[in-house]
Amino acid sequence: MRDIHLPGRSTVHGTGGAAATSQPLATLAAIDMLRAGGNALDAAISACAVQCVTEPNGTGIGGDCFAMYWINSERRLVAINGSGHAPAALTSEWLLAQGLRAIAGDSVHSVTIPGAVDAWCRLNADHGRLSMAEVLEPAIRYADSGFALGSCIATEWAAATQKLVRNPNTARQYLRDGQAPSAGDLWRHPQLAETLRAIATNGRDAFYRGPVAHDMVTSLRSLGGVHTLEDFAVERSTYVTPIACSYRGVELIQMPPNSQGAVMLLIMNILAGFDLTKFPPQSAERFHLLAEATRLAFEVKEAIGDPAFSDVSVEPFLTDAFAKSMQQRIRPDRAGSIPAAAAAGGRDTVYVAVVDADRNVCSFINSLYMQFGSGLTSETSGVLFHNRGIGFKVAPGHPASVAPRKRPPHTILPGLAMRAGRPWLAFGVKGAAYQPIGQAQILTNLIDYGMDLQAAIDDARCAYNEGHVDVERGISDAVRRGLTALGHRVVETALPLGGAQCVAIDWERGTLSAASDSRKDGLALCY
């Protein structure tokens, strides 16, 4: 329990259902869906659609989606990969011939075919209780009638002004007279409302075929893209088999590649070899172990690509023997000398956790990758495109080399934790490569240190990042000095690390708990 003499939030509790998101109207939409008879999946899609309107810096229908959904009556978990593919005409060889050795974040070539809408519609058709028209109604209403902009989102929107102004379609639809809206301003997006309305009426084909698809392809090709109507028409999400590991008796479940879920599981497998409780949660020793586990896990990430194009299996990396080999490389008294790439934070995504009265559980993540994605918007349909294609390498033969109809490496990972064969926790942390690091800190806060949900999220964060350690302002001087003494280069990050949402089930008491990160505008609600 937090010290109630000090500012902070409490974990919320309920019995009928719970939702946590980074935007209040989205959380309210999820609860409204549950109270209207929808299940956790309906509620998660509805919340995410609202965020596509109210939090466009972080997500949109021009992005990608991963989701896990526990169907309690069947004791069955389904997982879907809604990340899009590269256009059929895009290859490393073609890019090299154009003089491009990397794909820039604002390049039209960073736009892979958006996969989110197909995943939403497929999940709704296969497992939803409400129609897509009912599920999308709140998002359409806010896009049509307007909503009051939140404080954190307004700050991030303003910071992206120079990016948004570069594309005329984006400047016209996401700025007013060249300026970002301010906190509390009423904001509307009628073009996006029309596109959402079309999806609500005609499903995925309203997005991937017909006028909306034609608008998207025309807009992208006008910028030099090689996207075609056929690329959009054939785009499909894929049901996949999750991957898992055990940590202190808790089964941790993640998405397989092209998600970086394996990286998070490897971090936890490495940490399992150490008794973290020997050190306080806010200590140099604890953060040193987290940093070293992260550094070693990210060494492996480069070897993992789209499984449809790669023979590399993640299973050998998730064995106890491999974890032990990594543990033996960690010195308790000294930071490792070989840096690995792991960008901590600085990217935008939304994560939604929902549990309903029947104890169906949805762990759901939707992303544009960088803030406002590529910064490119379709001319008439209001679709802001992500830039997930920057995860590709322009290098023939590399596991992540760009190739026709290939999925790029993805940073987003919705999490699920099980105890005794039943869901205990739906959890996620936004923030690009920081996500597995943030998940590991929150999980060890809960499992090793016994914190409640909100305390586990609020705890000041520290993260390994490409040869140094990023710390939030809340990390004490003593901890910083301790990390420096261990050989880490400590850097205070300009922005907080990530943004987390969690919902937990207490099966014995029949109650739910939920928490939302104070680093964002959102909140958790139970009823």
Nearest-angstrom CA–CA distance, 181 and 329: 50
Taking the CA atoms of residue 150, residue 153, residue 154 and residue 159 in that order, the dihedral angle to the nearest 10 degrees is: 170
Q: Which residues of 465-498 are buried (b: 16+ CB within 10 A; e: fewer)?
A: bebbbbbbeebeeebbebbeebebebeebeebbb
Length of the chain: 527
Structure tokens at 427: 């959890």
DSSP string, 300-343: HHTT---TTT----SGGGGSHHHHHHHHTT-BTTB--SS-----
Structure tokens at 233: 């028409």
Please tell me which residue in 349, 377, 411, 493 is annotated as part of the active site.
Answer: 349
What's the gap between Cα 169 and its chain centre?
26
Structure tokens at 123: 């999940």
DSSP state of 113: P
For residue 209, give the amino acid letter. Answer: R
Nearest-angstrom CA–CA distance, 524 and 255: 24
CB neighbour class for 140 (10 Å; exposed up to 12, middle 13-18, buried from 19):
buried
Tell me, yes or no, if 349 is annotated catalytic: yes
Which residues does the annotation mark as catalytic?
Answer: 349
